[in-house]
Amino acid sequence: MAAVAVPRWRVPLADVVVTEADIAAVADVYRSGWLSQGPRAKEFEEAFAQYTGAEHAVAVTNCTAALHLISMAAGLGAGDEIVVPSLTFVATANAIAYTGATPVFADVAGLTEPWLDPASVRARITPRTKAIVSMAYGGHPGETAALAALADEHGLLLLEDAAHALGTRLGGRHLGTFGWAGAYSFFSNKNLSVGEGGMVVCSDPDVAARLRLLRSHGMTTLSWDRHRGHAAGYDVVAMGHNFRIDEARCALGLSRLARLDDENGRRALLDRRYRELLSGVPGVEAALAPVADATLAHHLFTVVLPAGADRDAVRQALADQGIQTSLHYPPAHRFQVYAEAAADLPVTDAYSARAVTLPMYAHMTEEQVEIVVAALAGALA
């Protein structure tokens, strides 16, 4: 059977290397004859909890399901207001809306600081507010610590969308573990990719039990337990979903987790190289500046173009040289489905109109960074 043809960019936006060890780990699962959630999932959860320092980790089929599960376990519902960023992947807001709760969009901190601004969040807190969702844009901790303090002050839950932030530590503590619960993504373009996958972490054992229950139809026993003869029947005690992940993806996640810190370290080096080279390109500002006392996942590298630059033309000039770029993100408050959530978000609008995401992946070379920056400088000249 021929390999699937993957488009060939000279410098793709993101790329993933699957090693022979990864493939062997996946093949082992298929040889074992047990494919759906079972012992590999448990092993992956334990390794993930150990890596992040979380008390509990619950593996799920993707990060959207992880966020949805958190929203359900938190008991969000109609009449509740949840303050969320608009400058995020739409799933952050959708996961709230699935429960009947209302996402209330807040603005980001600055043109090179595309994370939730605590002052904007504070201004949107009402007696109906139940939670704040933070999103670690590009793997940057942003104002997560301040948002945790703000949530505490108002008796709100802090929920973390840490889809970009696997491996980010602030003061030694992993992003995703500052709040009531955190969600991670293992989608193809994320730092730890298995194709589709996600994880929830939390510290409270009762919350973990609730997450596990709702992950699998609200059923009191698992197929794996019944298969092993550890359980005979089951009851259904809550309206759950099927958000389970299969064994092959957990085996791949386990295999890849072992080298994540090395890969993130490579991203850090490339991030530094980008910043050095961009300091010589007038008008272009790199976002997401590194911070003291933090290790960053460097999921994205984004730049803000000069006001008035023709962004489409710049992106086309790069594409003509085989360089893939992207936009993170078209803001959620501008989508038709959120038309009713009218929001005045000037910084989000400015950032989403002027920012471009440049290629970033662990095995990108410094020469490729030079190619990208030279092309960008040429396009703006």
The contact set with ligand PLP (CB under 6 A) reads 62-64, 88-89, 91-92, 135, 161, 163-164, 185, 187, 198
Q: How far is the CB of 307 from ligand PLP (least distance, A)?
A: 26
Q: How far is the CB of 251 from ligand PLP (least distance, A)?
A: 18
Q: Which is nearer to ligand PLP, 94 or 120 (CB)?
A: 94
Give yes or no for a contact between 211 and 225, defined as CB atoms under 8 angstroms apart: no
Q: Is 42 a catalytic residue?
A: no
Q: Which is nearer to ligand PLP, 55 or 196 (CB)?
A: 196
Separation of alpha carbons 371 and 343, rounded Å? 39
DSSP 199-252: EEEES-HHHHHHHHHHHBTTBSS-HHHHHTTS-----B-S---B----HHHHHH
Q: Which is nearer to ligand PLP, 88 or 379 (CB)?
A: 88
Q: How far is the CB of 150 from ligand PLP (least distance, A)?
A: 20
Cβ within 8 Å of residue 95, ≥6 positions away: 64, 67, 68, 70, 71
Q: How far is the CB of 91 from ligand PLP (least distance, A)?
A: 4
Q: Which is nearer to ligand PLP, 135 or 304 (CB)?
A: 135
Q: How far is the CB of 321 from ligand PLP (least distance, A)?
A: 26
Structure tokens, 120: 């904007």
Taking the CB of residue 291, how many other CB atoms lie within 10 A of it? 11
Q: How far is the CB of 143 from ligand PLP (least distance, A)?
A: 16
Q: Which helix (H) or strand (E) holds 85?
A: strand 81-85
Separation of alpha carbons 218 and 16, rounded Å? 35
Q: Choose the catalytic residue: 140, 174, 190, 210.
A: 190
Structure tokens, 69: 């599960």
Q: Which is nearer to ligand PLP, 62 or 168 (CB)?
A: 62
Q: Which is nearer to ligand PLP, 167 or 198 (CB)?
A: 198
Cβ within 8 Å of residue 316, ≥6 positions away: none
8-state DSSP, 325: -
Cβ within 8 Å of residue 158, ≥6 positions away: 131, 132, 134, 147, 148, 151, 178, 179, 180
Q: How far is the CB of 280 from ligand PLP (least distance, A)?
A: 31
Cβ within 8 Å of residue 236, ≥6 positions away: 217, 218, 219, 220
User: Which of 158, 168, 106, 159 shows the shortest CA–CA distance to 137?
Assistant: 168
Q: Which is nearer to ligand PLP, 288 or 373 (CB)?
A: 288
Catalytic residues: 190
